Amino acid sequence: MKTISNFSLKKINSFNVESIAPIAYFPSCIDDLITLSTLGLSSFYILGEGFNTLLVENESPIIIKPEFKGIEIDEQADCTIVKAAASENWHEFVGFCIERGINGLENLALIPGSVGAAPVQNIGAYGVELAQYCQEVLWFDFETQSVIQYQHKDCGFAYRESIFKKKVKE
């Protein structure tokens, strides 16, 4: 797993605030997450693209910056299921769907950030929100070292709200 000490976050937060992470980890597979969970990190911050993150100290917490990529399409008889990895860019993901005639997310185009952050605050715009189209969220639980499948009904989606908002603070 890529790991960088004294990592500058200046270019990856939308305010371009200079803040140095003592160490930044860049997991790209489940095995990397399992490795991270064995390190006994007391606290850390998961950073997507930094568009909803305000850094206020010269020294940031330990950073985990996922580098999970890939989009899979599963055509079913009555619907299309699209599975997108956390580090895909949200706007590009919307474009990917539109190009293939997979409709619904158009109003959410141009929202800056990553796919992984989208369910955290249940992104929305122009009367549409992610929750209307999100069937399931896969979440890695650092305590049990396993991937948990959260079905839509278990995500606690509300206006700019979800259970994941609380989980990232745990």
- The nearer residue to ligand FAD, 26 or 51, going by C-beta atoms, is 51
CB of 76 to ligand FAD, least distance (A): 26
66 belongs to the binding site for ligand FAD (CB under 6 A): yes
CA distance 129 to 90: 13
- The nearer residue to ligand FAD, 43 or 76, going by C-beta atoms, is 43
DSSP at 87: T
CB of 42 to ligand FAD, least distance (A): 16
Helix, strand or coil, per DSSP, at residue 126: coil
Structure tokens at 113: 């950030």
CA distance 16 to 33: 27
- The nearer residue to ligand FAD, 42 or 76, going by C-beta atoms, is 42
Half-sphere exposure (CA, 13 Å, Cβ side) for 108? 27
112 belongs to the binding site for ligand FAD (CB under 6 A): yes
> What phi and psi values does residue 142 have, to the nearest 5 degrees?
-70, -25
46 belongs to the binding site for ligand FAD (CB under 6 A): yes
Under a CB-based contact definition with an 8 Å cutoff, are residues 18 and 10 in contact?
yes
- The nearer residue to ligand FAD, 16 or 135, going by C-beta atoms, is 16
Structure tokens at 24: 């930044």
Of the residues 9, 33, 44, 50, which one makes contact with ligand FAD according to CB under 6 A: 50
125 belongs to the binding site for ligand FAD (CB under 6 A): yes
86 belongs to the binding site for ligand FAD (CB under 6 A): yes
